[in-house]
Chain A
Amino acid sequence: MLKTIFDYTRGLVILVTFYVISAFIIKLFNIMLPPAILGLALLAAALISGIIKEEWIEKTSNFLIKNMAMFLVPLMGGLIVYKSLLFKNWFVILLVIFITTTLLIVSIGLFVEYGLKFLELHKMRKTK
């Protein structure tokens, strides 16, 4: 029990530290990037280089990622403040989502599918 609490706290402290350091760097150099994104990249880099051990943040990360949708619910509730804006624009919003998401899935799907096929053919020809 105590070990579990320790594990989760340690993970959270590390993640928050990464966030704070990133926020500091961004302020210092005036970069146009959300601190959490830089924190994400720094965390991946620290894990790859071995500065941070996987098991230090494993439990907390898995917990936070699994429950990410729940942390967004208050924002959904916040839509109530923007009711009139939403009522005025609902059609445009839905239309844009429908068109762009379909186009995006189609183009990227086709690109990767045929790109990989092309590469394979290329490799086969080389080995022959």
Chain B
Amino acid sequence: MMNFFGLIITIIFYKTAEFLKRFPILSKLPPIVIAGMLIIFVLEYFHIDFETYNRSASYLTLLLMPATVALGYPIYKNIELLKQNKRIIYTAFVSATVLAIVLTYLTAKFCHADLQIIESMLPKSVTAPIAVEISKNIGGIPELTACVVVLTGVFGGMFGHKILELIRVKNDIAIGLSIGAASHVVGTARCVEKGSEKQIVMASVALVIVGVLTAIIAPLFLHLIR
């Protein structure tokens, strides 16, 4: 029983957090944030080693690999959408990827962040499983990347639609694409609550494509500036 302690409390905390989302006060916080905080609290309060916890909890992390591969499925399902307005959409995917990497690097550099922090933050606009893989690849800290990615998603999800409303962007393709590209799954989840079918599909396709592009461009970018 003790062997599966980490795995069990993770699932219980996550499902509880998912249930708590029904209450209006907590509905803005994604379950992963609540569950993560609960885990940190329990480990800290009962003085449990992270190693002990992660021995069984890491089985869940292992599932991220097939889950990332599974993202190929929504691409296949929405392939038709990728054939329309090709030029603009593909230019937007590539420029979103490059912009995200360059902007993150420059702002972090400007704030005098350590190199390891910058490397961990570079893939921050990308969906977490992909970002974690990229982070490992370029020398970042996967745990920090996961945290930054989730925070980026929460920010984009909370303010994305408001920002776009403010600058009068009304096209569903534009809204879905920019929110999906900048704040991945969490932003996409907000599109599910607020937006039309077109927004959701565009956001989910954008988050996968930008993820793949970032995996290719981020190591090249780091190679170039070194």
Q: Which residues of A contact B (CB under 8 A)?
A: 12, 15-16, 18-19, 22, 32-37, 39-44, 47-48, 54, 57-58, 60-62, 64-65, 67-82, 85-86, 89, 92-113, 115-117, 119
Contacts and interface: CB of A to CB of B under 8 A. Distances in A.
B60 A70 contact: yes
Nearest to A111: B92
Interface of B: 6, 10-11, 13-14, 30-33, 35-37, 39-40, 43-44, 50, 53-54, 57-58, 60-61, 63-76, 79, 85, 88-89, 91-92, 95-96, 99-100, 103-104, 107-108, 111-114, 117, 121, 124-125, 127-130, 132-134, 136-137, 141-144, 146-148, 150-152, 155-156, 159-160, 163-164, 167, 169-171, 173-175, 177-179, 181-183, 185, 208, 211-212, 215-216, 219-220
Contact of A113 (B70, B75, B163, B174): B174
Nearest to A32: B219
A92 B104 CA distance: 11
A33 B215 contact: yes
Contacts of A105: 156, 160, 163-164, 178-179, 182-183
B204 to A, nearest CB: 9
B70 A43 contact: yes
A93 B121 contact: yes
Contacts of B30: 69
A73 B70 contact: no
B133 A112 contact: no
A74 B142 CA distance: 11
29 contacts: A15-B66, A43-B72, A44-B76, A67-B67, A69-B185, A71-B60, A75-B146, A76-B32, A76-B35, A76-B39, A76-B40, A76-B143, A81-B50, A89-B117, A92-B108, A92-B112, A97-B151, A101-B156, A103-B99, A105-B178, A106-B164, A108-B177, A109-B177, A112-B173, A112-B178, A115-B88, A116-B171, A116-B173, A117-B171
